[in-house]
Structures are given as C-alpha cells and as structure tokens.
Amino acid sequence: MNIRDDLKYTSTHEWLKQGADGATVGISDFAQSELTDIVFVELPEIGRQLDPGEEICALESVKAVAYVYAPVAGAIAAVNEKLRKQPELINQDPYGDGWIVRITPDESGKTADLLEAAAYKQTLETAG
C-alpha cells in the first residue's frame, strides 16, 4: 500500500498536493485498490465553486460508484482530460498520471480536515 509522504490526505481518501498552480487532487492508492478497476470518470465543469467536503465528481468501477470530495475550498481550474478515455490511469498511477482535478484555492483558505501521511496511514490500519 503506497502512501506518499509528501502529500496530505483526507479521511475520505483524497490526496492533496499544494503547488504554485493550485491544489491538485486525486485518490489514494488504498482508495483505488478498494474500488478496483475504474471504468468511468464523470469530470466536473471548469470554474465550478466548491466548499471543503463537497462532492467534486463520481468515479465508477465495476463494483461501485464512489465520490471524490473537495479537500479545499475553491474553483476547479483544470481537470485531467486523459481520464475520459483512460479512467484506468487512476488505478495504475493514482498519484501521478491519475490526478483528477486541480483547484484554485479561494481567499477563505478553508480546508477539510487534512492529515499528514503518517496520520492517514494510521486511519487505514485502525479501520478494520
């Protein structure tokens, strides 16, 4: 189970990478392996405003539909267009090519409860 140390996480299994170009969001290796093969990603509209914890979009696997929740408040700046034809990128490379959206955080600076990698790993171990 690959949980990268340089990222922040949410209790709903999103990862967050803050950068100059905004906050990039995806789902963790744990989440993608629980979902199994993702067959469809319903990407959101660019410009949509989100509150922390709000549903960004849906991921469909053969097993279930799961939602990706916004770790920070802001507007959708970009979506990973490759996922339209290649949703499996989320399974293959959840932290890299499988990124889902980039959010431009708004001035409120509001975020969901963000966990450091070690704390997130802890939640995976105790959930049981």
Partner 1 sequence: MSAKTIFEKGRAGRRTEYVTPPSAPPPALSQLPASALRAKPPALPELTEGEVVRHYTGLSRKNWAVDVGFYPLGSCTMKYNARLAEQVAAWPEFFAAHPLRPGGGAQGLLRVMYETERMLSQLCGLSRFTLQPAAGAQGELCGMLLVAAYHADRGDPRKTVIVPDSAHGTNPATAALAGFKVLTCPSSEQGTVDLDALRKLVSDDLAGIMLTNPNTLGLFERDIQEVCRIVHDAGGLVYYDGANFNALVGRFRPGDMGFDVVHLNLHKTFGTPHGGGGPGAGPVGVVEKLEPYLPVPLVTEGPEGFRFEEERPKTIGRMNAFAGSVLIALRAYVYMRLLGTAGLRDVSGSAVLAANYLKERLSTVYQPSHPGRCMHEFVLSAERQKDELGVRALDIAKRLIDLGFHPPTMYFPLTVPEALMIEPTETESIETLDAFIDAMLQIEREARESPDLLHDAPHHAPVGRLDEVAAVKNLNVRWTPDSTGEGAG
Q: Which residues bind partner 1 (CB under 8 A)?
A: 37, 39-40, 62-64, 88
CB of 62 to partner 1, least distance (A): 4
Alpha-carbon Rg for the chain in angstroms: 13
CB of 18 to partner 1, least distance (A): 31
Query: Is 74 within 8 Å of 23 (Cβ atoms)?
Result: yes
Which segments of 1-128 are extended strands (E)? 8-9, 14-19, 22-27, 38-42, 49-50, 55-61, 65-69, 74-79, 101-105
Nearer to partner 1, 63 or 116 (CB): 63
Nearer to partner 1, 46 or 64 (CB): 64
Nearer to partner 1, 39 or 119 (CB): 39
